[in-house]
Structure 1
Amino acid sequence: MTSTPPETPAGTPGGTPGGTPHETPRRTRRAGAFDIRLVIALLLGVYGLVLIVLGLGFTTDDEIDRAAGVNINLWAGLGMLIAAVLFALWTWVRPLRVPEEGGDEPAE
């Protein structure tokens, strides 16, 4: 009596839909600077810092009165800065993996 290795379900390491469980995994690398989440984090961070500077240094009492007593530039800037940090953390915690160039052919 021979034993056969158990089938690996699709979506787990070693198992692919329509493939065999013993296929060679493709080599991947991190996307790095090409990850769109980093671009979004950079833009939100820059705009957030600009709004914080405007809210702290250049907002008059008349503008605050027109905004129902809220320094909206400061609060919007803080919100954008927090969102930028969350996007950057998301990129760090769950990096985007892309296949390496030339990974389909074995090295000779």
Structure 2
Amino acid sequence: MTEHPEHPEPSERPGHPAYSEKDVLREVTELEGKSATAARLFDIRRIIGGLFVIYGVIVTIAGLTDDDAAIDKAEGVNINLWTGLGMLLLGLFFLVWLKLRPIVPPPDVVVGDDSKE
């Protein structure tokens, strides 16, 4: 039978770089930063607010360019104009809410316990 040597240290294994605790903490910090950026970018308030603002502008422009026949069809109310302005206000509300109350990243997670030394 052949004897199997003990598992070598990571720095002794070919093709396996050794990672220090400092490297791991730096990588964890970098990933947390990317995660917080993604959370802010895909916040549902940003998506809803942006869509309502875009559609509100389109519908408002349609309301401003409506002819008398379209207004008569809605019994004298320029429904596109009022709906577009409402959508604009709702979209701006969501975007202002996002600006005033941004997502707060969770508190730092303790990776290792230094008290065992």
Q: Provide the C-alpha distance between the structure 1 equivalents of 2:110 and 2:62, rounded to a whole number of angstroms.
A: 52
Q: Does 1:35 align with 2:43?
A: yes
Which has the higher relative contact order, 1 or 2, with Cα contacts under 8 A spaced 6 or more apart?
1
Q: Provide the C-alpha distance between the structure 2 equivalents of 1:79 and 1:48, rounded to a whole number of angstroms.
A: 7
User: How many residues align structurally?
Assistant: 80
Amino acid at match of 1:83: L
Alignment of 1:96-107 (within 5 A): 96-99=103-106, 103-106=109-112
More strand by share: 1
Q: Does 1:84 align with 2:84?
A: no
More helix by share: 2
Structure exhibiting the larger radius of gyration computed from Cα positions: 2
Q: Does 1:56 align with 2:60?
A: no
Structure 1 ranges of 4+ moved more than 6 A: none
Q: In the alignment, which residue of structure 2 is the partner of 1:46? A: 54
* Distance apart, 1:92 and its partner CA: 0.9
